[in-house]
Chains A and B, each alone.
Chain A
Amino acid sequence: MSYEEVIFYVVGAVTVAAAAGVVFSRSVVHAALFLMLALFAVAGIFVLLAAEFLAIVQVLIYGGAVTILVLFAMMLTRVRDLPTAMDGPQKPVAFLAAVAFAVTSIVATVSTDWPGNTDKVNVIAFNDIGTALFTTWAVPFEIASLLLMVALIGAIILARGEEGE
């Protein structure tokens, strides 16, 4: 077993454990902190895939902004103080559905014969990603920026509420 595989199994175990913490934790704040750990571990997975750009973006956007935003929403909606149960009565059905999906998808993955070289990560250069993003994918890029702006305006209007409220 190469050292890369050892690192992969450690980071992968942290990812799965943190994700399990998010969905099984009894406390919402703990769930949010587990989410932060899971997102950082996924950034580690991205590094193992030689996608450093996405790893950096992941740490900046998810590790920074998204987790803080989720914690803010928890503070403002006081989810912690509400006496309702965290999980609905549909829990066993949800568990069965998730297990069924996991089994199907893992069996499909393992039994598929992937075309091409499947045991070596091809390093994609940083500047190639930038060039592709601003030439081949320039139109989707601009649409994404427009979408972000619309979402921002929508979020402000929704959260602000009507006049005189």
Chain B
Amino acid sequence: MIPINDFLVLSSILFSLGLYGVLARRSAVLILMSVELMLQAVSINFITFAVYLNPDTFTGIIFAVFVITIAAAEVGLALAIILRLFRNKATANVDEADMMKW
């Protein structure tokens, strides 16, 4: 039997790696991939709490279903925005997307 802390520590490590990617990368596509990693970590956390601590109402599993739904919508929309950015500025680098800067 796997103790609950193993899953939570794995999820923390995954989230931190995603956080590093979001902060350090410059290409919008790579930032999006790191955000996906962070969402995965959150899903693992939700499911862990649902199956260990809350098996009667298992809200965490339902929440994870919605996290996956939102993530799918987010990826589609974000890639459309990246495509648009590339068409207007010929780059997918977030440092150069400063049109709204004062």
Q: B75 to chain A: which residues have CB within 8 Å?
A: 66, 69-70
Known: A137-B62, A147-B73. A102 touches B12 (CB 8 A): yes
CA distance A155 to B83 in the complex (A): 10
CA distance A11 to B57 in the complex (A): 28
CA distance A58 to B52 in the complex (A): 20
Asked if A105 and B12 sit within 8 Å, CB to CB, the answer is: yes
> Does B97 touch A at the CB level, under 8 Å?
no
Known: A106-B12, A116-B53, A158-B77. A61 touches B19 (CB 8 A): no
Q: B74 to chain A: which residues have CB within 8 Å?
A: 151
- Interface of chain A: mostly helix, strand, loop or mixed: helix
- Interface of chain B: mostly helix, strand, loop or mixed: helix
Please tell me the number of chain A residues within 8 Å of chain B, measured between CB atoms. Answer: 90
Q: A51 to chain B: which residues have CB within 8 Å?
A: 47, 50-51, 61, 64
CA distance A87 to B26 in the complex (A): 5
CA distance A44 to B26 in the complex (A): 30
CA distance A73 to B81 in the complex (A): 10
Asked if B84 and A159 sit within 8 Å, CB to CB, the answer is: yes
Q: A38-B37, A124-B58 are in contact. List 8 more A-B contacts (CB 8 A).
A: A16-B10, A51-B51, A79-B92, A82-B91, A106-B12, A109-B9, A118-B3, A122-B52
B-side residues, CB < 8 A to A, are: 1-10, 12-21, 23-27, 29-30, 32-34, 36-37, 40, 43-44, 47-48, 50-53, 55, 57-58, 61-62, 64-66, 68-77, 79-84, 86-87, 91-93, 95
Interface CB pairs A-B, < 8 A, 14: A28-B30, A54-B47, A62-B71, A73-B29, A76-B86, A78-B86, A82-B91, A87-B26, A101-B12, A109-B9, A110-B5, A120-B1, A152-B76, A159-B84
